[in-house]
Structure 1
Amino acid sequence: MKSAPADGEATDQPSPTKNTENTESTESTENTKKRESTEDERPSAGAATVAACTVLFGTLVSLLGISWDMQWHNDVGPDTFFTLPHVMLYTGSAVVGVTSLTMVLLATGAQRAGRSVARYGGGTPVRVFGGTFQAPLGHLVAGTGGALFLLFGLLDLWWHSMYGFDAVLDSPPHVGLFLSISFCMVGSLIVFAAAREQTWGKIGVVVSSLVLITFSPITIEAFSDLPLPVDPVIVGTVFFSVVLLITGVFVLRFRGAAFAIAGALGVMQLFLWWFSPWAAHVYADSVGLPLRDGLGGEAPSLPKRIPMLMLAVAAVTDGLLWLAHKYGWNARLAPQFTGAGAGLVVGLSMLVQTNRLEEAQGALTASDLVFMGLFGVVTGALAGFLAARFAVLLRDNSAVPDLART
């Protein structure tokens, strides 16, 4: 029979209390490290949110400026370099460029200090100039657009100094400026898609999508002279509106995403319908310039090119995706079927919309409807195919590696 150990004598039996305390302490430490690691990999609620919203604000300012400038060319005529619509364009792109540059510098500083770059948001960090900078992908794209806008802005200043007034909107410097603005807007979408799990990220994806859809008629003008049996501008509208709508739906993945984008687009269209002519006329009056002769009741230049029945397109999109889910359609073909249905609605509705709003258009014929329906289906299917792949790229972009430790 063993005797109990004397006071102060060591025992080989471990203390249950101490084991429990050590286990709890270890688990607590591990949980704390995991929580800190997870939080470190998420965009911070401060810098990332402010930067993303500032970039989006800059794209909205640019959008208002281009709509105003288009209306000015339509209702007043030639312009110079320093006009208020141009100032809005320059201001918006400058805001985007400076904000994105700031985020690139912050991310680079964090990487050099051994901290996570992910907390600054914007998507996957990209090594620039051999690793000299660590640029979040969204801010890299948006910042590149801002830098290009500065270069083409200087070219536009030289153009005006050489040739004076701009009588048309599609001068070479303007084409470069429009492409630069497109880069800024795409960068904004990438930034918000990387934060789509958060409320502000979801809202940003919706607004960034509608900004790109609203701006797309400017890009589409580059294809206006294509020899097609239908209006190539309408075909371009089908492509961009469908690809951006379905991309947004696949990125967000919540019920009603298509209606959110389409409804927000309708609000923007209504606002620009009022703002563009009002701003052009008030500004012309303030500088003492007359309006063109023969103006009367014409639809505003940019808003009339935006599809008016996008809510119907959203309903078709949501309906087809619901059917694909319910009946187990091939996941690789569902985006094409959805895009084809959405493209058919956009194509036919835009054909009627353009015919009603453009005075030079004649009466529609059955062949017009058939050809546009076919082009709408084919173009929409292509848009759906690409949208599914764009969405994958945008969602993968939020899986941010910790470059601070590599």
Structure 2
Amino acid sequence: MAVTAPTARAGTRGLAPAMVVLLGALLSLFGLSWDVQWHIDVGPDTFFTLPHLFLYAGSALTGLTALTVVLRTTAAERAGREVDPAVGGRAVGVFGRTFAAPIAYLVTGTSAATFLVYGLWDQWWHGIYGFDATIDSPPHIGLLLSISTTIIGSLMTFAVAKDQPWGRAGVFLAVAMLVAFFTITSLAFNDANEGIQAVDISIAFTTVTLLVTATSFFRRPGAALLAAATVAVLQAVLWVFTPWAAHTYADSVGLPVRDYVEGVPAMPNLIPMSLLGVALIVEALLFLARRNGWSARVVAPLSGAVGAFAITALAPVQRAITREFSFGDFGYTALTCAVAALLGLLAGVLGWRFGLVLRAAAPFTTKEDAR
């Protein structure tokens, strides 16, 4: 039974801008995977390479879409027309109420604007130092954080339309994109791999946080499995696309591929292949919680700890299978898993809270939503 005004249902009104923002985020994600592979397999790099243009086009698309929605919302509010809160969320005042911006598009537009600033910095950086030898240069960190926030904005645009099938599907895809994207951001911890595998811990932390977020947001059996399955599909697509794009582009511009190329795409291989198994564990814990009346305060951190432990424990197995790496020292792996499990407790709590925040951003359409 509805508990708010009929305007709470967006229908397809918010579909077009949400899909354009999603397309922009996908362009950025595929551009990043392509760019990382280009650096590994080919090397020479400038500001205007095709992978870079994918990244910039994605942010430009999301930024312009967000600006359009904000201007339309502002015009509607000034004309006294009712603003549908299910299209991008509730409108908030910007610059002393000069503009009325739906919260999801405010996040998306702001992140796109900061991406432009970091993009100019990156151009200056390339002009001084030439092609990049590392992913964690200062402008790259800013660019990665900006794109991450853009994808979070895309997640919000779909979350506020969760009563629509396209809204629910968009949430799963946006969560999967964040899982994939945060694997590259986690490489910033490469220099912290002393005594523990910090990159694996970071990947496990962000992945479990997002898996629990989807679970908390939907509050339905199977949500964790659907989120993990979406990640697996996206990983498979990136696995095929990434090396093909890098090598095809190299051929088109007359550059050779390096002799030692392994044939394993870098970014897709960072995504945990164990996630479906982890999702099954989370679903089992949620089943026990429903059956025994456990509260979210128990099941959320427990899910996070078990999930993070499983991901870090199986990460060496994934590397051994895909890249024929050795398993390494047992003590090193055991300590990594222990630290991951401890941080997983926090990841579970944060993921559950984030899911609640996303639910609160959506207009209430049922009594269950209002709780």
Q: Which TM-score bucket, shorter chain as reference?
A: over 0.9
Shift of 1:346: 1.1
Unaligned runs of 5+ in 1: 1-33, 401-406
For 1:197, what is the secondary structure of its paired residue? Answer: coil
Unaligned runs of 5+ in 2: 365-371
**Separation of aligned partners in 2, 1:284 and 1:399:** 48
Shift of 1:178: 1.0
Corresponding residue of 1:283 = 249
Cα-to-partner distance string for 1:341-369 (whole Å, 9 max, x where unaligned): 2112112111322344456x544343234
**Quick check: 1:41–1:118 contact (8 Å CA) kept in 2?**
yes
For 1:195, what is the secondary structure of its paired residue? Answer: coil
1:124 to 2:90 alignment:
yes
For 2:264, what is the secondary structure of its paired residue? Answer: coil
Superposed, 1:347-362 pairs within 5 Å as 347-358=312-323, 361-362=325-326
Normalised by the size of structure 1, how large is the TM-score?
A: 0.85
Aligned partner of 2:175 among 190, 209, 212: 209
Superposed, 1:25-64 pairs within 5 Å as 38-46=5-13, 48-64=14-30
Shift of 1:96: 0.6
Shift of 1:167: 3.2
Corresponding residue of 1:178 = 144
Corresponding residue of 1:303 = 268
**Quick check: 1:299–1:357 contact (8 Å CA) kept in 2?**
yes
**Separation of aligned partners in 2, 1:384 and 1:167:** 35
Shift of 1:101: 0.9
**Separation of aligned partners in 1, 2:71 and 2:224:** 36
**Separation of aligned partners in 2, 1:104 and 1:279:** 35
1:66 to 2:32 alignment:
yes
Aligned partner of 1:329 among 294, 300, 315: 294
**Separation of aligned partners in 1, 2:328 and 2:128:** 44
1:236 to 2:202 alignment:
yes
Cα-to-partner distance string for 1:104-159 (whole Å, 9 max, x where unaligned): 11111111112222256112222111111111111111111111111111222222
**Separation of aligned partners in 2, 1:378 and 1:115:** 50
Shift of 1:173: 2.0
Q: Higher RCO, 1 or 2 (CA under 8 Å, sep at least 6)?
A: 2
**Quick check: 2:304–2:349 contact (8 Å CA) kept in 1?**
yes
Shift of 1:44: 4.6
Normalised by the size of structure 2, how large is the TM-score?
A: 0.93
Cα-to-partner distance string for 1:11-69 (whole Å, 9 max, x where unaligned): xxxxxxxxxxxxxxxxxxxxxxx99x7332332522x1111111111111111100000
Cα-to-partner distance string for 1:184-213 (whole Å, 9 max, x where unaligned): 001111111111121111001000000000
**Separation of aligned partners in 2, 1:69 and 1:234:** 21
**Separation of aligned partners in 2, 1:38 and 1:298:** 55
Corresponding residue of 1:345 = 310
**Separation of aligned partners in 2, 1:280 and 1:287:** 11
**Quick check: 1:110–1:117 contact (8 Å CA) kept in 2?**
yes
Q: Structure 1 residues 107, 225: CA separation in 2 closer, same or farther (over 3 Å shift)?
A: same
Q: Which amino acid aligns with 2:10?
A: P
1:391 to 2:355 alignment:
yes
**Separation of aligned partners in 1, 2:98 and 2:7:** 22
Decide which structure has the larger Cα Rg and report it. Answer: 1
Corresponding residue of 1:13 = none
**Quick check: 1:123–1:397 contact (8 Å CA) kept in 2?**
yes
**Quick check: 1:220–1:233 contact (8 Å CA) kept in 2?**
yes
Shift of 1:370: 2.5
Corresponding residue of 2:337 = 373
Superposed, 1:125-144 pairs within 5 Å as 125-144=91-110
Q: Which amino acid aligns with 2:8?
A: E
Corresponding residue of 1:364 = 328
**Separation of aligned partners in 2, 1:174 and 1:368:** 30
Q: Structure 1 residues 164, 371: CA separation in 2 closer, same or farther (over 3 Å shift)?
A: closer
1:160 to 2:129 alignment:
no
**Separation of aligned partners in 2, 1:274 and 1:374:** 34
**Quick check: 1:355–1:364 contact (8 Å CA) kept in 2?**
no
**Separation of aligned partners in 2, 1:362 and 1:40:** 58
1:266 to 2:250 alignment:
no
Q: Which amino acid aligns with 1:57?
A: L
Shift of 1:270: 1.2
Aligned residues, how many? 363
**Separation of aligned partners in 2, 1:241 and 1:337:** 15
**Quick check: 1:193–1:398 contact (8 Å CA) kept in 2?**
yes
Q: Which amino acid aligns with 1:336?
A: P
**Quick check: 1:337–1:384 contact (8 Å CA) kept in 2?**
yes
**Separation of aligned partners in 2, 1:117 and 1:94:** 25
For 1:207, what is the secondary structure of its paired residue? Answer: helix
RMSD (Å) for aligned C-alpha atoms: 1.9
